[in-house]
Amino acid sequence: MQMETLKIEATIDTPAIILDSNNNHFEISGKSYPEDTKEFYGPVLAWIDLYVSSPNKETTFIFKLKYFNSSSYKPIFDILNKLHIIKTKNIKVNVEWHYKDGDTDMLEAGEEFGDLVEVSFSFHPF
């Protein structure tokens, strides 16, 4: 199934998002502290819901966040849970968690998500 690419440019308080199933590129990068988390992440979660119904043979999802606030935690967790649903279909799912070298808070956040969601995580300092 061909899906429209969802591309959202980064702002001061929202991350850049690329959800491109045709090129197998899924990435959230930057800072995430939107004023209205539900409004910002709503289209992202809706897109991923569609993707879950007909995923690629393998999915690698890249998180390259410099910062996220507590209200961004749930939508990130929801995205990871949707990736887990893909994994239950016997499809390979990888999460690449990139964090600023020395940013132990962001590394620990990724490790925590990795413990909560049963998908393959790898950690990459930048």
At 6-57, the pLDDT tens digits run 999 999 999 999 999 999 999 999 999 999 999 999 999 999 999 999 999 9
Model pTM score: 0.95
Rounded Cα gap, residues 62 and 36, in angstroms: 23
The answer to whether the beta carbons of residues 63 and 13 sit under 8 Å apart is: no
The answer to whether the beta carbons of residues 96 and 122 sit under 8 Å apart is: yes
Q: Token pair for residue 26?
A: 């899924």
At 54-110, the pLDDT tens digits run 999 999 999 999 999 999 999 999 999 999 999 999 999 999 999 999 999 999 999
Residue type, 107: L
Q: The tokens 């308080």 sit on which residue?
A: 13
Q: Token pair for residue 86?
A: 């893909």
Q: Using the 8-state DSSP alphabet, how is residue 54 labeled?
A: S
Domains belonging to the chain, first-starting first, are: 6-125 (3.30.750)
